[in-house]
Amino acid sequence: MMVIGFTLGLLRATRVAPKRGINPERVYDLALIVLLSGIIGARVVYILLNLQTESFRDFFAVWNGGLSFHGGVVFAVLAAYVYTRRMQLPYWKCADLLAPSVAIGYAFTRIGCFLNGCCYGAPTNLPWGVRFLEQGTLTQPSHPTQIYAFLANIAIFLLLRRLEKLRRAPGFIFTSYLGLYSIYRFLNEFLRKGYSAQVSLFGLTQAQVVSIAIITVCAVVIFAKYRRPVKLQNL
């Protein structure tokens, strides 16, 4: 499902790239760098946050789960920055171009989580509750938070497409994506807390704590830098 999401996101990015003045051939290279660095970063951060149960000796055993999206974002952003600088590409325009594609890729990856039976939510009496296999035992009917994540990120993708029509300085779409993703993640974690996500600080999960920080930063940046339209030649 990750490969399907990556492919769909890549097709979208290469189709839109010429309209943004970006060579589609560079997008293929950049997308591959973002994918690989993102997976590495996601694995590194997950292990660091769970040293009691995880080990770097099992670093490549990604089929057992254990990926931190926030860690993936950090590594992917840094790798993309290095590549765009080396290739003399406009970094923020490239980030804006790829942000909706990341939403697509993430959405389909969460379907993979659903099929794998991980990242589920709290028990529910709702008719769409699903029983997942956990260590050889079926759970109670539980919230399929993976499907909620899929739907939320498709909605984020559609919203980003609308935001692309606004005349804002480069970096606006990427910043908006980070903020919207963090809002979704913060809310979705309430259903996962204590089940497939452990409590960290102040009764919140690790993802919720990070999401609060990102939402705050994105809100400040958007308010300070992207409130007003810019001239077309500055886009």
Bigger pLDDT: 165 vs 57: 165
- Tell me the pLDDT tens digit for each residue of 162-213: 999 888 899 999 999 999 999 999 999 999 998 888 888 888 998 999 999 9
In this prediction, residue 61 carries a pLDDT of: 67
In this predicted structure, the answer to whether residue 233 has a pLDDT above a threshold of 70 is no
- Nearest residue to 35 (alpha-carbon basis) of 89, 93, 101: 101
Phi/psi for 123 (5° steps) reads -60, 150
55 pLDDT above the threshold of 80: no
54 pLDDT more than 80? no
User: What pLDDT is recorded for position 232?
Assistant: 55
State what percent of residues in the chain have pLDDT above 70.
Answer: 95
Closest by alpha carbon to 109, among 176, 39, 45, 211?
39
Query: Per-residue pLDDT averaged across 50-71, rounded?
Result: 72
Minimum mean pLDDT among 22-36, 60-74, 104-118, 151-165: which range? 60-74
pTM: 0.88
60-64, 86-90, 124-128: range with lowest mean pLDDT: 60-64
User: Could you tell me which residues are beta bridge partners of residue 142?
Assistant: 123, 130
| Confidence band, pLDDT 50/70/90 cuts, at residue 86 | very high
Tell me the CA end-to-end span of the chain in Å, nearest whole number. 34
